[in-house]
Structure 1
C-alpha cells in the first residue's frame, strides 16, 4: 500500500477479503485513512469455500481473488487485485485504465525472456495448449463480465481435474 501511495498521487479504495478476524485489519485501515484513502474489510464465511479443493499451494484463501466479484460492491466495474508482497514502482493509471477488449482479466504474462520457466509452468500445471503463463498476483478484473461468466464450482472442477500428485 505504501508503494502505491508514494508512486501515485490520488486516493485509493482498498478491499480486504478475509475469513477470520485479524487485528491487523484495524492497523491497515488506520494507515490507509491517514493518507486519505479508504479501506473496506469484507468478511467471508469460510464455509463458502468448504468444497474448494485445497492442497499444497492451493489454500482456501487463494480462491478469494477468484471469487472477489461475488463480494465486491456491485457498483464496481473493475478491480485491481494485488498480492500483498507487490511493490508498485510506477503510477498504475495506464494499467488500471486499460481497455479489457472483451476479456475478463488483464494480467502480466511471462514473456520470451522466461521461455524455460514458461514451459516448466505449462508442464507443471498441465496446460500445454495454453498461450502463456501469467502472474495471478497482479490482475485487473472486468467485474461485470466475470459476474456473468464465472462460477466457483467450474473453477473447483478444473483444479480437481488437473490436480497434481504432490
Structure 2
C-alpha cells in the first residue's frame, strides 16, 4: 500500500449527498491507496457526518476528519444572488494554516464531480515553485474580467474544482492573506473564489491535461491538447468528470444529460441511495442543452 494521500473538500448540509457521491467514486476507483479525507464545514449535522464517515471508514477503510470552520472569518464575504455556491467554497483558502505542517500536498476536489480512474499520478508531480496544479478553463467573461485579474492576453485561466495544492508554497508565501485581500478589493464578482485563486497564482500554477477535470457540457478548443493522446483520454477516458456547467446537475430531473449515469452509479453505493432526483422546471432547459451539444460537436471536430 502506498503512503496516505490527503484529500480536501468543502461542504454543507445541502451538498452532503453530492460530497458522498464524490468520495465514493474516488475511493471505489482507488482501492489500492489509503486516503485521509479532510472535510471543511460549518453546519454539517451529525447524521450527514455519520453517513460520510460510513463511506470513507466502513466501506473503504480510509480516514476522515471533520473541521468545524469559524464563520466569523468569512462574514465580510458577500455571496452573489442567484448562485448555487455557498460560503463553504471559500473554506479551502485556509488549508495551509488549518492542516498540520506535516501535510505537504493535498488534492482539493469540488463536491459536484466524480472520479473515474486512479489519481496517484498527481501525487508524483514535481511541484517545486508551483502553488498548485490545475486544468485550464475558458470562462473569462470579457476584457474587463481579464484586467481585473491582471492577466495578460497569453496567461491561461484555471478551473478551481480540481486543485493539486502545494501546501508548503502556500505557507511560505502567506497565500491565505493574499486570497482574502483580493476578495476585499475586487469590485465586480465574476467567479468569486476561483477568480481570487487565479489572481494570486497567475504564472505560479502547473497546467494539467484536461482529462483531470473534464467539465461536463463545456466546449473545449482543440488547441489546448498538448498531445493527441490527451484529446483521446479527455473524450473517451477522463479521470474526473466535473458537473460544473451552471445549474445543470445530474441530481436534477434533466433527461439526456451527458455523463449523469456516473453520478447515479455511485449514488447507489452511498447512504443516500434511495433519494429521488430533484424536480426542476424545464422551461428553456432543453433548448440550452441543444445549443451546448452543437457547440461541443463543432469544437470537437472542426476546431
- Please tell me the TM-score bracket, short chain as reference: 0.7 to 0.9
User: Are residue 148 (structure 1) and residue 169 (structure 2) matched?
Assistant: no
Contact 1:80 1:141 in 2 (8 A): yes
Instruction: Kindly report which structure 2 residues correspond to 1:109-120, keeping only aligned pairs within 5 A, or say none.
Output: 109-110=136-137, 117-120=138-141
- The CA distance in 2 between the partners of 1:121 and 1:145, in whole Å, is 30
SS in 1 for 2:113: coil
Paired position in structure 2 for 1:85: 112
Structure 2 length as normaliser, TM-score?
A: 0.48
Alpha-carbon shift at residue 95 of structure 1 (Å) = 1.5
- Structure 1 window deviating more from structure 2 (120-129 vs 33-42): it is 120-129
The alignment's C-alpha RMSD in Å is: 2.3
5 Å matches for 1:50-69?
50-51=75-76, 53-56=77-80, 59-69=86-96
Give unmatched runs, 5+ long, in structure 1: 111-116
CA distances 1:48-103 after superposition (whole Å, capped 9, x unpaired)? 2233x222157532221111111112211111000011211111011222111311
Instruction: Kindly indicate whether structure 1 or structure 2 has the higher relative contact order, using CA contacts under 8 Å at least 6 residues apart.
Output: 1
TM-score where L is the length of structure 1: 0.83
Q: 1:13 aligns with which of 22, 36, 45?
A: 36
Question: Structure 2: which 5+ runs fail to align?
Answer: 1-22, 191-303
| SS of equivalent to 1:55 | coil
Tell me the secondary structure at the aligned position of residue 120 of structure 1.
Answer: coil
* Alpha-carbon separation, structure 2, partners of 1:49 and 1:26: 26
Equivalent in the alignment of 1:45: 70
How do 1:88-103 residues align onto structure 2 when only pairs under 5 Å count?
88-103=115-130
Match of 1:163 among 171, 178, 187: 187
Q: Deviations over 1:2-25 (max 9, x none)?
A: 111222122211000112242311
SS of equivalent to 1:12: strand
Corresponding residue pairs, total: 159
Q: Measure, in 1, the Cα distance between the counterparts of 2:43 and 2:79.
A: 20
Cα-to-partner distance string for 1:81-129 (whole Å, 9 max, x where unaligned): 000112111110112221113111111113xxxxxx3443664463362
Tell me if 1:73 matches 2:95.
no
Please name the residue that 1:127 is paired with.
149
Q: How far 1:42 sits from its partner (Å)? A: 1.1
In the alignment, the residues of structure 2 paired with residue 50 and residue 36 of structure 1 have an alpha-carbon distance, to the nearest angstrom, of: 36
**Larger CA Rg, structure 1 vs 2:** 2
